[in-house]
Structure 1
């Protein structure tokens, strides 16, 4: 089976990144991670980022730059990490997708549990280069 493709939204506001607690309808409910989702057929990575952010947290964003990629822990998805400025706008969480949301620093992200092991290198190595 071929690896599926997904985007991860690195939403930046005042030196922090938005993370959500994955909601009851999301895979791996309860885990803390940036908003993310599958790339639909015919969609670019940037288009998927804009759509997923709107669907999950209700922010209208413009895709910035692709800054990292990695595989999910089970290898089923290739994750494409994109930045998007999110300095304004109120969050409107989809209750099925996101139970809670926080704007965090890399240090604060390490205090959240549970998180995906694959996200830790992003917060430790990549994020500091973006701020």
Structure 2
């Protein structure tokens, strides 16, 4: 971390051909937005460990991180977002009601139809994800 900048992991969780997105709950920063699960990297924690912890805390799944695939700034400019692909092949989504108001497994096109979403999240699904998926 540099100065007051926070490192945040964003979990691009894949199951079959769908991605898990949540509607941020009342205890989350900027509630009401649809977004992939995410959270602050704690002191002494690797980004992979933070991703596994945040996914478990927010939606009750066991995530297996694959790779960091993109970096961006948060909508408020306070955080550096580390976008990681990960798999969550098994288990039911069990949302923490303080953090998650709703959850859905969606395609990229379905995500882009949700409202509201953060501009950076939209950019990921429009510009970055297609490059990861290839032709």
Q: TM-score, normalization: structure 2? A: 0.93
Instruction: Report how far residue 118 of structure 1 moved.
Output: 1.0
User: What pairs with 1:116-127 in structure 2 (closer than 5 Å)?
Assistant: 116-127=118-129
Unaligned 5+ residue runs, structure 1?
Answer: none
Unaligned 5+ residue runs, structure 2?
Answer: none
User: Residue 107 in 1 paired to residue 104 in 2?
Assistant: no
Partner of 1:80: 82
Segments ≥4 residues shifted beyond 3 Å: none
CA distance in 2, matches of 1:68, 1:21: 22
Instruction: Report how far residue 63 of structure 1 moved.
Output: 1.2
Aligned residues: 131
Partner of 2:16: 14
Instruction: Report how far residue 81 of structure 1 moved.
Output: 0.5
Partner of 2:39: 37
User: What pairs with 1:19-98 in structure 2 (closer than 5 Å)?
Assistant: 19-98=21-100
CA RMSD of aligned residues (A): 1.0
CA distance in 2, matches of 1:78, 1:26: 17
> What are the superposed Cα offsets for residues 21-46 of structure 1, whole Å, 9 maximum, x if unpaired?
00010011110000000000000110
CA distance in 1, matches of 2:87, 2:60: 14
CA distance in 1, matches of 2:35, 2:76: 16
